[in-house]
Structure 1
């Protein structure tokens, strides 16, 4: 699984969403599918609640699904937001953590109301360049009322 392709830019992520459909696509920030999907490893297809340490019944992930209220606005901006929102997880969770795209099935909700999913297929890693593009695109919106969902920054 570590031989997943790597999405090199935001346009490529946009094309993946257009090609695959967005209904069951998620971004997960972790050490990757080799760790998360290990059949016999502790916590396979499971995340942990950061506050209590409770094992969660699926992988915490963020949906790429474009909501109907977004209408005909930029898909690139939507996807940039999805990446930007949780970029702090790389530093929080330590070395080797990076985003990857998966096709999954939501089975529950986590303590932050995030989807908990079972991965049906890992699709691709997300390159650092995509994260830089996402940040630039979000910064270009010049919103003083919006930022990443980082508990540590508050």
Structure 2
């Protein structure tokens, strides 16, 4: 049988630099970054769970990488860096096997933090953890600083 075979869910290419990820975002619309144990785990049941209530949601929670119009021509690399940096705390909070990966899919709703919920998921690539260091450095070069989005513990 000929034809193109899709890679196994966790056997994806790896983006190893912020520049490479930025090029991917330039070439493709509708990309999202998801922080989890990976596509093999997530695609077994394409549903995230609300951490507070335990309610299953109709899709995987993810964050969009598409540039918003209000960004008005500013650096795409900085946009991508910020999107990664905002959630870079998740591997520390959710466990060492949690990693970022890029996917395409169809939005089915919004989660409790107003994040898109994605179904019909097509895994694209892993994001090497070194890219997170590049994203942090890019954010730190800005005149205004902020940390990742993190809720304070009680």
TM-score of the superposed pair, with normalisation by structure 2: 0.90
- Write out aligned runs for 1:46-125 (5 A): 46-125=47-126
Deviations 1:56-88 (A, max 9, x none): 111000000100110110000000000000111
Instruction: Give the counterpart of 1:2 among 7, 10, 17.
Output: 10
Give unmatched runs, 5+ long, in structure 2. Answer: 1-8
Aligned length: 146
Instruction: Give the counterpart of 2:33 among 19, 27, 35.
Output: 27
TM-score of the superposed pair, with normalisation by structure 1: 0.90
Report how far residue 147 of structure 1 moved.
2.4
Deviations 1:9-28 (A, max 9, x none): 000001111122x3x10000
Give unmatched runs, 5+ long, in structure 1. Answer: 39-43
| CA distance in structure 1 between the aligned counterparts of 2:117 and 2:142, rounded to whole angstroms | 30
Q: List structure 1 runs of 4+ shifted beyond 3 angstroms.
A: none
Equivalence for 1:152: 152
Equivalence for 1:41: none
* 1:153 to 1:14, Cα distance in 2 relative to 1, 3 A: farther
| CA distance in structure 1 between the aligned counterparts of 2:128 and 2:143, rounded to whole angstroms | 24
Equivalence for 2:3: none
* 1:66 to 1:51, Cα distance in 2 relative to 1, 3 A: same
Equivalence for 1:12: 20
Report how far residue 95 of structure 1 moved.
2.5
| CA distance in structure 2 between the aligned counterparts of 1:138 and 1:113, rounded to whole angstroms | 23
| CA distance in structure 2 between the aligned counterparts of 1:3 and 1:36, rounded to whole angstroms | 14
